Amino acid sequence: MNSVCNAALFAVRRQLVDTESDLAVALLTADGVCRSNKRPDNEALQQSCAALLAAIPDRASLRLAMQAYGGIVYAATYGQSPYECIMSVLYSLLNGQALFKDPTRGMRYIYEHLFEVYAPPAARSRVRVDGNTVEQRYPRLLRAMRAAAILSHTEANATLLLLLRTAPRDRCHASPSCEAVAHFGGAMKVVRAAKRYRRLFPSMRLTREAVAA
């Protein structure tokens, strides 16, 4: 089993090194789209996404490609990868994370077009959460946030929605969703205080039956 996995890994690694392979051409084309801060042409965007999907059809293939990419050293370009931009987008998709702060327009367009294919199911359902459904999905966390930071329903909901749509590495520096959160120290401090509150007061941990009631 390990020998089969290693053989597949080496095969993908050879395709990444060979700039004339279908995988490398698809990644280079998508990388060019990602580096542009102009709105990409619809036809070019569709061709780029179609080529990526043909070379990397599903999450398993993407995981293998990312694993192979991590073991390559690009000595000819002093360690600078020719796929840097597109790989950062694919990494965010594979982990179900939002894009980091200030992405280019090309990155946003490719991210949106490939999200349903490469993102995990939990991330796809999380993106669909809005102001009407956030209370149903995170009732205990929102209740603890309101109690710990003395927030209203609207303030707690807006804070959680902001964090769900922010990349993990940018959450500590995310702009507060309201004045009350700003005075408390930021959205992440509210969430940490809510978790401490739930540990100190076990009665906050409602059962599913109590939440449904």
Residue 129 lies in a domain: no
Residue 79, sorted as left (phi over 0), alpha (psi -120 to 50) or beta, turns out to be left
Number of H helices, E strands in the chain: 13, 0
Tell whether 16 and 78 lie within a shared domain: yes
Residue 126 lies in a domain: no
Residue 127 lies in a domain: no
> Among the three residues 120, 144, 169, which one is the final residue of a domain in this structure?
120
Tell whether 15 and 114 lie within a shared domain: yes
CA distances from 36 to 2, 83, 113, 114 (A): 40, 14, 16, 18
Tell whether 29 and 89 lie within a shared domain: yes
Number of separate domains in the chain: 2
Alpha carbon distance 58, 34 (integer Å): 20
Question: What pLDDT sits at residue 212?
Answer: 47
Tell whether 42 and 94 lie within a shared domain: yes
The amino acid present at 102, given as its one-letter code, is D
Alpha carbon distance 36, 27 (integer Å): 15
Is the pTM above the cut of 0.85?
no
* Angle separating helix axes 22-35 and 42-55, nearest 10 degrees: 140
> How would you write the pLDDT of the chain (213 residues) with one tens digit per residue?
456 567 888 888 888 888 888 999 999 989 888 887 777 677 878 888 899 999 999 999 999 999 888 877 765 555 678 888 899 999 989 888 888 777 888 888 889 889 989 988 888 888 788 878 888 888 889 999 999 999 999 999 999 988 888 877 777 877 788 888 989 988 899 999 999 988 887 765 554 444 444
> Among the three residues 95, 120, 145, which one is the final residue of a domain in this structure?
120
> Among the three residues 120, 144, 176, which one is the final residue of a domain in this structure?
120
Tell whether 69 and 148 lie within a shared domain: no
Question: What pLDDT sits at residue 83?
Answer: 87
Structure tokens at 16: 């990444």
* Containing structural domain, residue 47: 2-120
Question: What pLDDT sits at residue 211?
Answer: 46
Residue 128 lies in a domain: no
Tell whether 72 and 158 lie within a shared domain: no
